[in-house]
Structure 1
Amino acid sequence: MINVLKSSSRRHPFSIETADSYVLKDGVGANMTDSHYFSGHASDGTSFFFRHAKRSDQTTEIWFCLKTSDGKVLCNKEELYPSSSCPADVRCTISGEEMSFSFNGQVAYAHRGDDDILFLEKNGLNIRARATFIASMPPFDFSTGLNPAFVAGALAEEKWNKTFWRNLKQNRQVHYEQPGIIKLEATIENQTYTYVLPAMRDHSYGYRDWNYMNRHIWLMVLFEDGEVLNLNMVDYPHMRNLMTGYISSKGNHTSLRSLTNLKKLGQDGIVPQQIDIEIPLMDNHVATLIGNRELVADFSFADGKYHICEGVGNFAIGEKKGRGILEFGYNRDTSRWK
C-alpha cells in the first residue's frame, strides 16, 4: 500500500499555481465542488470564518460568521445561492501567497442555544465585507504531504475489494491548507470595523457527495506562538478509519501518526463541550490537547442529509495556548455514526 500511495503522488504532483487558479465550471458532472474556506482566531476572543463553495449544479454555499472580542456574533442569514447571483466572491491575487474574498449580503446577530448552537435573530443587517488572506507558510497538500506510512496504516484496516478501489478513486479530491493572516474590513450600518487575525485557509475541489459520508472531524488550532495544528478523521463506507494530522511550524509541516482516540469524539451528534485527546508526535512523545467549545454554527448539505457543526473554541497543550475550530460532520442516518 505504501508503494501505491507513493506512485499516486508521483502521478498526481501538486502545483499551487494550478490549484489556486482552479475554477469549477457549471455542468461538469454531478457532485463536483470547489470550496474555499478561511478561518481566523485571535487571543482576545475574536473569531471569523468564511466559506465559498461553488457546486456543479449552479449553486454556491456561503458561510460568514464573525465573533467579536466582546462576545457578539454575526452570521449570514442564507446559506445557498444561485451561482449567477451569489453575493460573495473569492479570487487568487498571487498564487501561494495572497487570496482576496468578499461578502455583500444579509447577516443577523446570533445567540447560543442548547449545546451552544447558534440561532439567528429575525431582523437582518446589511454587511459589506472584504478581506485579504496573506500566507505565512507554504501550503500543505494532503495527497503528497502526508507520510505515506501513516496513511497506509489506516488503509490496512479496510477490505481491499473492487468496491474499495472504485470508491477510493471516485472520491478523490485536491485538498490543501495554508497558514497565514486575514485582514478583514466589515461595514455594518455605516460603521466600519477592521480586524487582523492569525488564520488558516483550506481549498478543496473535485468530487464530493455529502450523503456518502458517514461523519467527519476536523480540529484546527492556531497557537499563540505561531504553530498550527490540524487533526482529521473521515469516515466513509469504504474507509472507516482514516485519521491524519500535521503540525506547521516555522515554515515546515510535519505529519502525525494516527490518533486512535479521535474517532471517539462526538459520537452522540454533538460537538463536545470539552475534548481531551492524546497526540502522538514524531519523537514518540505524546502530548495532551485540551479544547473547549465556545459556539457552534449548524450548516445543512444535500437537502439535510448531512450536517456540519462548525464549532469555535479555545485550546491548550500544557501552557501552550491557542484558538481555532472544532468541526464535526454527521450523516442524517444516525446508524452510520458507529
Structure 2
Amino acid sequence: MKKWTVFYDGKMKEYGDCGKIHHVKIDGIWTSDLPYFNYDVDMDPLCMAKSMAYERWSLSYFKDLKSNHQTHYEQFGNLKAKVTVDDRNYEISLDTVRDHTFGDQREWRQFHRYGLHFVSVENGDRFSVGKICLPISFSRLTVGYLYSAKYRKIFPVQACDLELYQHGEFGTPPKDFAFSFIAGNEKYTVKVTVADSPHFYLSKDCEAKFFEMFSLFEINGVKGWGSAEWQYRNIVGKDAEKKLNRFTFYLK
C-alpha cells in the first residue's frame, strides 16, 4: 500500500473530438504515506444505520444486501509520471486517490446514480464524500472519510446534507453547488466550482454514464482541488454512442 506502478501504452481519443486518435504512453509511479480507508470496517456505524433506516426492512432486503456486498477501499497519494502524446513529452505530478473494489458482482444496472467528491486541501487535508442511490440496497447511502493533516488520522463521515434529487437529477450535473458534511465531530462546508466535465460510458452495454468533473473547491474558506465523479444510469444503452459526439474510453 506504499508504491504502485502505473503504465499505459496505446491509443486514446481526443477529448472534444473523438475522431482524432493519439498514441499515448504513460510511465509513472504512485506513492503514498497516508492511511487507507476500508469501507467494510471503517465507516461510521450510526451513519450506516441511518442510511439503512430509510429502507423497508424484510428478509429479502437483507438477502439482497448480502448478495450485493462488495469490499471497497481508497487511499490518497501522489502520481509522478512521464507522459508522451504522439511526439510531445510531459512530466506530471498529481494529487490522486487510488481505489479498489471486489466482490461477487458489480451490476451497473442497479445503480440509479451517485455523486462522489475526491478532494485535496491546501492545508494538507484529504477527503472523499458523497451519496449513492442504489435502489436495491440504499435509496440514499452516505459514504466517505476525511484525513486530517493536523491529527494525522482518518475520520469517517458521520453525516452529509448533499441530496442527489436536488442536484442534476435529470442527467446534467451542476457546475456550481455546495454541501456540508461532518467528520471527527467537526462540520465542513464545501463549495464546488466545476472547471471541466468530460464524460464516458462504462460496462458492456454502456449501462453507466460518468461525469468526471475536474473542480476547484473551498472547504471552510480553505482552497482545494480534485474531482467530482457523478454517475447516472444510462437507459439508452449503446445507442447513446450514436447520438452523441463525445469522448469515450473503456476500462477492461
TM-score by length of structure 1 reads 0.64
List per-residue Cα deviations over 1:83-105 (Å, max 9, x = no partner): xxxxxxxxxxxxx1111121111
Q: 1:310 aligns with which of 188, 212, 219?
A: 212
Q: Which deviations, in whole Å up to 9, do the C-alpha atoms of 1:242-290 show, x marking residues without a partner?
A: 112211123411012221333232212112101111223433x433210
In the alignment of these two chains, the number of paired residues is 230
1:174 counterpart letter in structure 2: T
Residue in structure 2 matched with residue 295 of structure 1 by the alignment: 196
Counterpart of 1:213 in structure 2 is: 111
Contact 1:219 1:231 (C-alpha < 8 Å) held by counterparts = yes
Q: CA deviation at 1:157?
A: 1.6
Does structure 1 residue 279 correspond to structure 2 residue 184? Answer: no
User: Larger relative CO (CA 8 A, sep 6+): 1 or 2?
Assistant: 2
* Residue identity in the other structure for 2:121: F
Q: Which residue of 2 aligns with 1:329?
A: 231
CA distance in 1, matches of 2:192, 2:161: 17
Deviations along 1:177-224, one digit per CA (max 9) or x if unpaired, are 111110111112333211112221111122200001111111111112
Aligned to 1:200: 97
Rounded Cα–Cα distance in structure 1 between residues aligned with 2:188 and 2:77: 24
Q: 1:197 to 1:307 in 2, by over 3 A?
A: same
Q: Residue 223 of structure 1 aligns with which residue? A: 121
Give the whole-Å Cα distance in 2 for the aligned partners of 1:195 and 1:301.
Answer: 26
Aligned residue type for 1:237: P
TM-score calculated relative to the size of structure 2:
0.85
Aligned to 2:82: 185
Residue 248 of structure 2: aligned partner = none
Instruction: Tell me whether 1:246 sits opposite 2:145 in the alignment.
Output: yes
Letter in 1 for 2:145: Y
In the alignment, what sits opposite 1:265? 167
Identity of aligned residues (%): 22
Instruction: Note if 1:97 corresponds to 2:2.
Output: yes
In structure 2, the partner of 1:233 is: 131
Q: 1:169 Cα deviation (Å)?
A: 1.1
Aligned to 1:154: 51
- Kept in 2, the 8 Å contact 1:266–1:328? The answer is no
Unaligned runs of 5+ in 1: 1-95, 111-118
Q: Could you say what secondary structure the match of 1:269 adopts? A: coil
Q: Which letter does structure 2 place at the counterpart of 1:310?
A: E
Q: CA deviation at 1:134?
A: 0.2
Q: Is the 8 A contact 1:136 1:181 kept in 2?
A: no
Unaligned runs of 5+ in 2: 237-252
Deviation at 1:229, TM superposition (A): 1.4
Matches within 5 A, 1:57-72: none
TM-superposed deviation, 1:297: 2.1
Question: Does the CA-based 8 Å contact 2:25-2:83 persist in structure 1?
Answer: yes
Q: Secondary structure in 2 aligned to 1:272?
A: coil
2:209, 2:18 → 1: CA distance?
21
Q: Is the 8 A contact 1:271 1:326 kept in 2?
A: no
RMSD: 1.8
In 2, distance between residues paired with 1:140 and 1:101? 21
SS at match of 1:143: helix
Cα distance, 1:319 vs structure 2: 2.9
**Per the alignment, in what secondary structure is the counterpart of residue 226 of structure 1?**
coil
Name the counterpart of 1:165: 62
Runs (4+) of structure 1 exceeding 3 A deviation are none
Q: CA offsets, 1:117-157, max 9 Å, x none? A: xx225221111111111012011101111111211111112
